[in-house]
Chain A
């Protein structure tokens, strides 16, 4: 370069190139070209979100099955998850003694029966906190499900809300009907006649298919058909809901003495 003054342009060009070089060096990315758009996001959806949704689907399916089995188990056991405080006889849970009525705490009984069935028969490993609303059973999970792979993880709470096409509120109707029946017939000397006259159509003696009046003292076993004609599907079969329960028509001494005055 002969012209020293003109060399300034060369230095400017060299400076610009050097600046570009330094910038390129510090912002070097081995992946040349544009990256795949939404690669991480789509990978996340595919590897975490979709498997989690499938897991929730499975939880719901298990809840539906366990819910149907809970309905049947409770109905078979007079609405009790365990034994009635009023006692049992020949596998029939009694709803009252001569002194008291053992009114059902329906939500508690559902919790007891459902969780036992879910854990025992459906591979559930954690109990749920259950409530019901209309014909829907609502389960709040105690623990969450985490799908993790390396550094990333996705956590969902496996709550569920499933339609069982059945109302647990039926128990309240049946308890009212039972209380009325006991109050009417417990003083009647001819208990059989009284019950035949007073019990509602869906109340059957002993067995719903072949009703037969059997008296054990003044304790009577009933099979009550669902007033709402509810049924559940189990194994492809439609099973009618039938409640097995017993009522004690023994007059209480206190009431007897009170009514004697």
Chain B
């Protein structure tokens, strides 16, 4: 059916143009809202991603190979050895080595788990950063003789 009434056609065209303009503004508004929403949610994703990277850094630190008296060890063994012998210098030396090798900036603290849970002081702590802005991760390791230690890493 082809319309032939010119007045009717003009009315319909003006309705159409009005609708297009209205839709354009509506689309613009919705897009602006979605854009803002996306930005905020990207931020949330980034924060969670930072937490995950922080967890990965901690796992990497605990598995970092280190030599002690010619013996090949992992950092987790060094931590228990340092705790067993109250050798803070050994912890600091190996942790600094890790910071340097991995280009890591942050703080590592080792607590007895009971002390950590009651807000006590760490057994050892080493930092190479004035301010820490990254994620914070912690892991608990157990040793038959020494007991349980909590390792806290702040990137």
Q: How far is the CB of B137 from chain A (nearest CB, A)?
A: 8
Q: How far is the CB of B149 from chain A (nearest CB, A)?
A: 10
Q: Are B19 and A13 in contact (CB under 8 A)?
A: yes
Stretch in A31-39, A175-183, A219-227 with 4+ CB within 8 Å of B: A31-39
Q: Are A61 and B141 in contact (CB under 8 A)?
A: yes
Q: How far is the CB of A237 from chain B (nearest CB, A)?
A: 8
What is the interface residue range for chain B against chain A? Answer: 35 or more
CA of A238 to CA of B145 in the docked complex: distance in angstroms?
Answer: 14
Whether B1 is near chain A, meaning CB under 8 Å from some CB there, is yes
Classify the secondary structure of B's interface with A: helix
CA of A236 to CA of B41 in the docked complex: distance in angstroms?
Answer: 49
CA of A9 to CA of B51 in the docked complex: distance in angstroms?
Answer: 56
Task: Using A61-B141, A235-B84 as known contacts, say yes or no to A165 and B72 having CB atoms under 8 A apart.
Answer: yes
Q: Are B143 and A65 in contact (CB under 8 A)?
A: yes
For B62, list chain A residues within 8 Å (CB): 57
Q: Please name 18 pairs of A and B residues whose Cβ atoms are closer than 8 Å in the assembled complex, sorted by A.
A: A3-B11, A5-B1, A8-B12, A33-B33, A34-B37, A36-B41, A38-B48, A53-B59, A54-B59, A54-B140, A58-B141, A60-B74, A65-B144, A121-B144, A165-B72, A165-B73, A233-B71, A236-B145
Task: Using A3-B3, A13-B16 as known contacts, say yes or no to A42 and B52 having CB atoms under 8 A apart.
Answer: yes
Whether B4 is near chain A, meaning CB under 8 Å from some CB there, is yes
Q: Are A122 and B69 in contact (CB under 8 A)?
A: no
Closest to A35 in B: B41
Q: Are B59 and A6 in contact (CB under 8 A)?
A: no
Q: Are A8 and B3 in contact (CB under 8 A)?
A: yes
Q: Are B49 and A42 in contact (CB under 8 A)?
A: yes
> How many CB-defined contacts (below 8 Å) exist between A and B?
110
Q: Are B141 and A46 in contact (CB under 8 A)?
A: no
CA of A238 to CA of B68 in the docked complex: distance in angstroms?
Answer: 11
For A62, list chain B residues within 8 Å (CB): 142
CA of A62 to CA of B143 in the docked complex: distance in angstroms?
Answer: 7
CA of A50 to CA of B84 in the docked complex: distance in angstroms?
Answer: 27
Whether A163 is near chain B, meaning CB under 8 Å from some CB there, is yes
CA of A39 to CA of B41 in the docked complex: distance in angstroms?
Answer: 10
Whether A45 is near chain B, meaning CB under 8 Å from some CB there, is yes
For B63, list chain A residues within 8 Å (CB): 57
CA of A68 to CA of B43 in the docked complex: distance in angstroms?
Answer: 47
Q: Are A37 and B41 in contact (CB under 8 A)?
A: yes
Q: How far is the CB of A230 from chain B (nearest CB, A)?
A: 10
The 6 closest A-B pairs by CB, nearest first: A6-B8, A3-B8, A236-B84, A33-B37, A9-B12, A5-B3
Q: Are A6 and B3 in contact (CB under 8 A)?
A: yes
Q: Are B5 and A39 in contact (CB under 8 A)?
A: no
Closest to A45 in B: B52
Whether B97 is near chain A, meaning CB under 8 Å from some CB there, is no
Q: Are A57 and B139 in contact (CB under 8 A)?
A: yes
